[in-house]
Structure 1
């Protein structure tokens, strides 16, 4: 007795109170909610697919009539249910299951005779066999058709299997012995089968003729089969009809494996194991949001838009935002809508799209204190909630909108086919699809769908509660942003790619315009956000965004007098610098010029006095050249005394030489010290001090007085700006 019936089989049985057509049975199943009782329906495992319903779903009268007319109480309901509950029963074909039920019916009849006749078991079994052979047992004809002969040993073997819970062993699959033993399955040690499956994977639409040609090219006109005794038999290549049957059979039996290799997306949606109840770990409102984007399945007058959807996993609430293009700015604006409506989430989960991983999106989430989680690449099931709600949104709202273009290419072709070719000749998509919506009107429709339709529909995953009720019933606390101006400021566009700028002498250069920043020192790095309402104003923050530093204004863009603005900025900067350096200048006046030399030389003397150098052993080094040079340094021999006449002559010569000035034609270019030479001398002395060299006390005193004078300050400013060119 079959406990699982298809809609077609139920219709053919013509049971009381049930429809007589497959279509009406399916309509009854939908109206009665048979699909909601998940344990009482299943997908049909055999060729053709479809759905099978358990006998318990039928009304009582229909169920009794089915049992009475089909099996005539041949198999008790308990025995039939136990047989269907066995794991091996799921893989039985229909004919094998019917053979099992026939044997169970015979066993049930033998048990009735044993109980009523009060005979020993073996005597009761012999009486059962005699009555079955003579036709007096009262079993249906389909049982006698399945079991034409019966013996005592066979009956005892069936009873032992049934007691052991192996009723699947009573099934007889007459094709099992031959299944999988065909030529194409076994030829060349299974290589032919593998090659055929590889051809299907590479080219799913190859015909049997194509496959046979490829087999002939690969293996030749004959194939080899290995027999049980180890002998090899050569057989010709099967005809096209055999290959057609094999391909059809393989595409059914290997459907899951072939789908995984040929269509990964279909494998993910149909067969890949997916977790259920993944939201059980989410226990708070706004604990986890999931965000994703999708092109809208409807055209607008200004093109096709994208829709961003955010879903709160706990309550299943949804916010929709329509954007012309998928960009980081759209992510920020969508978050603004969700933050205003729901509050601040703890964590947001997105994919690896460029709009979600952009610096602007990362910076916004970091500034708001929201944790961001990225799903692994190519795993949409990792954010299944938002993926599912996008599909629900597109299927539920899309077909209602003007400009609907379908969910796929097939849908689009069907929509296009509604208009005759002559009517569509030369028309654009806007006319062919009746495009009349603007982006703002599409946003209004999306908001109405999310607020008025979706959030008030019961969700099975919420045990029949609506998203609105789930959110309203939450008794915990949520976080909200009070200052919307601060949130809008965080959403303001940044200057350039990363928003970082360095304040220069003129101010900030942004998009070829100068923004004055008199309240900030030059060389200060700032993070710049542009005022979305006024291009002439920018807001400055610390590089990490955690401190507000003030505003920067551009006189050209604001329309004010640039000269007056620059003068005001200079005055403000001077006041700021004077205020910041007042204490420094006051302390500098207390330092006297002599303090530098006295302090440095005193410390050097103290340091040198604490050091004692140990004598080292030395060797005398000499060379012939050194010995020759040493002769010069020897004291000269004493000259002989001059005579009085010679001494008088020498005196006259020396007097004449001392009275005549030296003759020279070299004129000095500069007479005395110049300001440039004095500044160079100061630079040289300062460099020697910085290197740790000792200088004369007079030089140190001169350097201290010179550096304190106006000449050094003026030359130092020129030297800082122009370098060596200032001293020429």
Structure 2
């Protein structure tokens, strides 16, 4: 008889399940013979009629299992059926064990409970030395009675067991491995109305994307409105179950849409050490700003901070808002204390990208590394410090308002109902149960005291020592600026873009206050540029507006509690006179060196010589004759023809002079000489009472009265009595 193989043996050789083999055999009509076996007649497929790939797989399996070929006929051999069965069982159990590693939850617990019961029954059989059926029957009775001898095998998943169940479990374990004991729970997942209808599923996912808070009832309503005429719409309870299942299976995706911050904190990959390449002091500084979790008397302030990544040293300033002036002040403090950094890492906020801060980086040759938008993980060290601060000392300070809305509501709940009613009557009153008693200066002092006294002396998990130890034990040359004046570019300018004009009486005026210094005496009338002294509002740093050099540190005497004495004024005058004297001496030396006494004639001679060679070409011309020109020519001709003698002409000239003298005498004015315009106005006012004035005189008097209304009224009062008398 020809060699034959069962579907199970072929499946083990090919690496698929026996059902796949049977399906293929029926489809391709493999030749087979029926042989008795467990469960009745079992098809055995003839080796010679099998496809080439199946025959090759069986040959390979035979060679691996050590089975021998019987008979001398080519292509015919006898297989060791028991070896193949063992190979199949072993391979199935190995696959089952690998699959079991991925099972969790109740399925895993259920499989382990059944496995424990089977082992307990086998142990009982060995101990009693009875047949399997008798031993398993007695074990089931003891188990169901909760006998202490089998108490260790008791399970919440199997309160009672039967002999049939125990035998079935053992058979499944031997045939398909431990995974078969987990049962078929959850096998129908993904076969519901929504999952089995791609269009419904895609629509539901689109709704979740746009509305992460959507509930099962609304989901059912939207499905009904969109697909009621096309598909069977699931009930609201089904939508709720599907929604819960989808969120469970897509936790990371749902959290990234619903709460991106929580996703970054809990699920975003954070492998490795971002400071692994930072090996030097001041190699990398990270800057950031955060609202303080403390309410102060004048409102809620923002904390602007910087951290040196290598040493983990921190420096903070407190400002009403995070702006360029506050950041520049922090940079100034940090550079004076720590030295110059190589790289400053900031976010892309408008305060950090302002022209003021950009000028600072460029002026001090510091590379500004700007992180991507909404990427706080790119500067993790300053972010982590702010969390340490807010969850540390901030929670113990008066005015603490919580880290989030939930904390704030819990703090607010401390108030009684009566207290809340009273506070609501006060417009703008704080409605949480907090003690707002600290000023900004007091909170900033506590903040810096905590950093210097506590944080810098606590062991940091990242560097395995304190920031102070990390700084002191590292031997490195620190880059520093040559003078504090170099950092004046970081100070905040005074209001009005910082420019002022120095006046002789008030010096520099800022917001109603006067700032003076003796050195300003040399700059009266000049434009200067002023910056605040961050440590003392009563002082300003003054720079030349054009040349940019430092002039002085002017003081407001009222704020500083000083008086302007004559000594200050005399010193300013002395400096002013000394500067003017020096400037005049320089001017005189230049005047002696260059003779400019006749500059106008020098320039005219220069222009004459420059243009002397220029001459225009002659133009064509015509003679114009009119009656007037002809009469003039005739008179000239007659004069020439008359031929008066020189004596006669002398008589004519003498007579002409006499007539001119008579004319001048007749036209000479008898108007008196006036001391001033008022004297003349009074004279003309009195004269017009006797005779009319000339046109010029009347016009002058009218203009005078219009421009001097008070004087006109006085003239009217003086002249009026005289006019009435006449």
- TM-score class, shorter: 0.5 to 0.7
In the alignment, structure 1 residue 477 sits paired with structure 2 residue 477: yes
Name the counterpart of 1:526: 528
Where in structure 2 are the equivalents of 1:52-201 lying within 5 Å?
126-130=81-85, 145=172, 183-185=193-195, 187=197, 190-201=198-209
**Among 298, 307, 313, which residue is 1:311 paired with?**
307
Do the aligned residues in 1 keep the contact of 2:492 with 2:532 (CA within 8 Å)?
yes
Where in structure 2 are the equivalents of 1:560-575 lying within 5 Å?
560=563, 569-570=572-573, 572-575=575-578
Where in structure 2 are the equivalents of 1:463-502 lying within 5 Å?
464=464, 467-480=467-480, 494-502=493-501
In the alignment, structure 1 residue 606 sits paired with structure 2 residue 609: yes
Name the counterpart of 1:548: 550
**Among 574, 582, 585, which residue is 1:579 paired with?**
582
String of CA shifts for 1:254-309, please: whole Å, max 9, x gaps: 54444444433344445556685443443321111112232343556776554443
CA distance in 2, matches of 1:138, 1:579: 106
Do the aligned residues in 1 keep the contact of 2:522 with 2:572 (CA within 8 Å)?
no
In the alignment, structure 1 residue 287 sits paired with structure 2 residue 257: no
Secondary structure, counterpart of 1:204 in structure 2: coil
**Among 564, 568, 588, which residue is 2:591 paired with?**
588
Do the aligned residues in 1 keep the contact of 2:290 with 2:302 (CA within 8 Å)?
yes
CA distance in 1, matches of 2:653, 2:63: 167
Name the counterpart of 1:411: 407
Where in structure 2 are the equivalents of 1:58-457 lying within 5 Å?
126-130=81-85, 145=172, 183-185=193-195, 187=197, 190-219=198-227, 221-223=228-230, 235-270=231-266, 276-298=272-294, 306-321=302-317, 326=322, 331=327, 334-335=330-331, 338-339=334-335, 342-352=338-348, 356=352, 370-399=366-395, 404-414=400-410, 432=433, 440=442, 443-444=445-446, 447-448=449-450, 451-452=453-454, 456-457=458-459
Structure 1 670/243 Cα, relative in aligned 2: closer, same or farther at 3 Å? farther
Q: Which moved more, 1:661-670 or 1:204-213?
A: 661-670
CA distance in 2, matches of 1:264, 1:565: 63
Name the counterpart of 1:503: 502
Q: Which moved more, 1:291-300 or 1:662-671?
A: 662-671
CA distance in 1, matches of 2:374, 2:366: 24
Secondary structure, counterpart of 1:210 in structure 2: helix
Secondary structure, counterpart of 1:292 in structure 2: strand
Secondary structure, counterpart of 1:318 in structure 2: strand
CA distance in 1, matches of 2:417, 2:62: 76
Residue 596 of structure 1 and its aligned partner are, at CA, apart by 3.1
Name the counterpart of 2:49: none
Secondary structure, counterpart of 1:194 in structure 2: helix
CA distance in 2, matches of 1:593, 1:529: 43
| Unaligned 5+ runs, structure 2 | 1-59, 71-76, 95-114, 119-168, 424-428, 673-726
Secondary structure, counterpart of 1:475 in structure 2: coil
Secondary structure, counterpart of 2:234 in structure 1: coil
Do the aligned residues in 2 keep the contact of 1:299 with 1:403 (CA within 8 Å)?
yes
TM-score normalised by length of structure 1: 0.55
Do the aligned residues in 2 keep the contact of 1:367 with 1:545 (CA within 8 Å)?
no
Structure 1 vs Structure 2 CA RMSD: 5.6
Secondary structure, counterpart of 1:386 in structure 2: helix
CA distance in 2, matches of 1:356, 1:620: 78
Q: Which has the larger radius of gyration?
A: 2
Structure 1 544/309 Cα, relative in aligned 2: closer, same or farther at 3 Å? farther
Residue 580 of structure 1 and its aligned partner are, at CA, apart by 0.9
Structure 1 358/522 Cα, relative in aligned 2: closer, same or farther at 3 Å? farther
CA distance in 1, matches of 2:671, 2:469: 98
Residue 127 of structure 1 and its aligned partner are, at CA, apart by 1.7
CA distance in 2, matches of 1:298, 1:239: 49
